[in-house]
């Protein structure tokens, strides 16, 4: 089981830390384009190949998608609550926008 929390900054630059389910914290970070921080130990134990295979089974590679297709894919992945894949897709969208 994983533990997560949200850090919210107020107008006065104070930080409020709120306990959250990992899935909810990831969903909010992806939807609001916020950074996601992961403990090194958790990251090293994660099953990255499983996430990659889920994405690759959709169509080859994320590099094969247009920007519009990536945006639609992100919406579909979020609807399925696959937040790990959604984070990868969000990162690819950011890269594409930076290269425009």
Query: Tens digit of pLDDT for each residue in 26-56?
Result: 888 888 888 888 877 776 666 444 444 444 4
Convert the pLDDT of each residue in 56-82 to its tens digit: 444 557 777 888 888 888 888 888 888
34-70 residues labelled b (16+ CB within 10 A) or e (exposed): eeeeeeeeeeeeeeeeebeeebeeeeeebeebeeeeb
Please indicate whether residue 2 or residue 30 has the higher confidence score (pLDDT): 30
Domain boundaries, the chain: 4-98
- Reduced to 3 states, what is the DSSP secondary structure of residue 39? coil
């Amino acid at each position: 089981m994983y533990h997560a929390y949200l850090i919210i900054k107020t107008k006065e630059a104070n930080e409020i830390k709120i306990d959250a389910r990992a899935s909810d914290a990831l969903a909010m970070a992806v939807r609001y384009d916020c950074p996601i921080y992961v403990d090194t130990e958790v990251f090293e134990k994660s099953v990255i190949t499983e996430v990659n295979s889920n994405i690759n089974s959709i169509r080859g590679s994320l590099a094969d998608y247009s920007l519009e297709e990536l945006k639609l894919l992100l919406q579909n992945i979020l609807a399925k609550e696959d937040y790990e894949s959604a984070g990868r897709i969000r990162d690819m969208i950011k890269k594409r926008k930076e290269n425009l």
